[in-house]
Amino acid sequence: MTTAIKFKKSLTTQSPLGVLLISEGGALGENAKALDKKLKGFIKSAIKDSEKFTGKHGQTLLLPVPGKSDFKRILCLGIGKTTDLDQAKAEALGGKLYAAVKGAGAQEAALMMDALKTDKKQNPDALYASMAMGFKLRSYRFDKYKTKKGDDDKTIKSLSLIGSHYSAVSGLFRPMSFVAEGVFVARDLVNEPPNTINPPAYAKYIKKELSGTGVRVEVLDEKKLKALKMGGILAVGQGSAQKPCIVIMHWNGSAKSKTSAPIALVGKGVTFDTGGISIKPSAGMDEMKMDMGGSAAVVGTMKALAARKSKAHVIGIVGLAENMPSSNAYRPGDIIKSYSGKTIEIMNTDAEGRLVLADCLTYVQKKYKPGTVIDLATLTGAMMVALGHEYCGTFVNDDALWQGLETAAGQTTEKLWRMPLDEVWKKDMESLTADLQNLARTNGRWGGACTAAGFLEHFIEDGVKWAHMDIAGTAYIKADKPTVPKFGTGFGVRVLDRLIANEYE
């Protein structure tokens, strides 16, 4: 369950909690001034008496209401300097508001929309829509497996945004809400335990989730993968009783899209990664259910595109496998043949995601001839070391594509950082006994995210615009952020949706 976002011109019944905007320095907004006058200066006096609340961005002050009012209680929300407000700060404000309303124990709240005096570059209605988006994103919970739920597990039922310009704000929020639903799908997938989201179950989930949306779904099961000689994904999945598969999602919103060739989104979907024969340490292995975060982002994006009736032509493809050790598992020293025909020497079975991606990348380019390919993968621990949980390292072979991604990132608060591609790293993935190897030959552990990208670059056809997003650090977090509860983040859905809206519709 997530929170319903409503838009109204005025209150028709008393609200359990009224949210009033206060600027830095304790300056009351127009709605706060009107209520303060009615309450004979109570709000201004309470703010003055407060030792900590000054109206800085994200600060809150919960107050009782002495006398008759449209609200049972008041929550003063600090918005900082109105001229400093932008989309990112407005979203964060919405997320912090959710936490404050939840902390107040309220199930419903009404945000009174003032006429914000913002920077000329900012649209006040868009800022309110962004606040609503932040509130919505923070409302996500994954508690379906809890048999008993306490007060902390309750989700706020609704937030109403009240003001004369409610219709304009509602119109701006509507497409955002569709994207939020896509984010929630991606979060759900990452948060699901690996015993419920194994490759066959995952494929069924995708078909069910996208049923009736207009997205056409095709599944390549193990038999078809063998017929196609997809040696990469088959090797990764051969140690598991849960057989690998590839799921292809087709969305063509309009023949009038900006490009005739589709854009392809490719996701790594290793539903659980033990490391295989090159087994990982047991500490923290439970988190390896998130190793399908790239595929989750692709599924969530396809959901969002269909929901908002995108006019783009998009192919989503996800390679699903479980990397397990067994007598049937692939081994260090093996040489396998990928779908591209290139042979790959296996140096470490825990460098498996690139093998799955290699087959998916080759297949989507060969069959659908996309002009642009973007892959997402929780690919390397090296990326987490480099950029932590804040930025997604992004390797791009085309400056215009990077500019589009950078713009989309700025519009969605999903942060990207451009990483270098270099022939040195590409060449370092060449094997002495096969065409390629799945770990760098001379660099060893150094520059691991860069050499992994160099490996993938071998599977990109000439003339294809390509971006590789290593979301190892951004797909899963252990502490709440203003708009992102801990665990699965759904990272990638928003930036991809915005890129497609900007450049391909």
Residue positions annotated with a catalytic role: 280, 354
Q: Which helix (H) or strand (E) is 313 found in, with range? A: strand 313-323
Distance (Å, whole) CA 235 – CA 270: 12
The answer for residues whose C-beta is within 8 angstroms of residue 393's C-beta and 6 or more apart is: 383, 386, 387, 417, 419, 449, 469, 470
Determine phi and psi for 217, rounding to 5 degrees. -115, 135
3-state secondary structure of 249: strand
> Alpha carbon 339 to chain centroid distance?
29
**Sequence-distant (≥ 6) Cβ neighbours of residue 444 within 8 angstroms:** none
Task: Give dist(CA 338, CA 203) in Å, integer.
Answer: 22
Q: What is the DSSP letter of 139?
A: T
Residues 6 or more apart whose CB falls under 8 angstroms from that of 306 comprise: 210, 213, 214, 215, 251
Alpha-helical (H) ranges within 153-282 are 166-191, 199-209, 222-228, 231-237
Q: What residues form DSSP beta bridges with 428? A: none
Q: Which of 326, 357, 325 is nearest to 436 (CA)?
A: 357
Q: What is the largest CA-CA distance in the chain?
A: 84
Angle, helices 399-412/493-503, rounded to nearest 10 degrees: 120
Structure tokens at 292: 């399908």
Contact 492, 147 (CB under 8 A): no
Query: What are the Cα distances from residue 433, in Å, to 181, 328, 333, 345, 454?
Result: 47, 23, 10, 7, 18
Instruction: Name the DSSP class of 336.
Output: E
Dihedral, CA of residue 422, residue 425, residue 431 and residue 435, to nearest 10: -30
- Give me the DSSP letters along 147-173: SS--GGGPPP-EEEEESTTHHHHHHHH
Tokens describing residue 354:
């690139």
Q: Got the DSSP string for 57-85?
A: TT-EEEEE--SS-SEEEEEEEEEE-GGG-
Distance CA 16, CA 434 (A): 68
* Distance separating alpha carbons of residues 302 and 314, to the nearest angstrom: 8
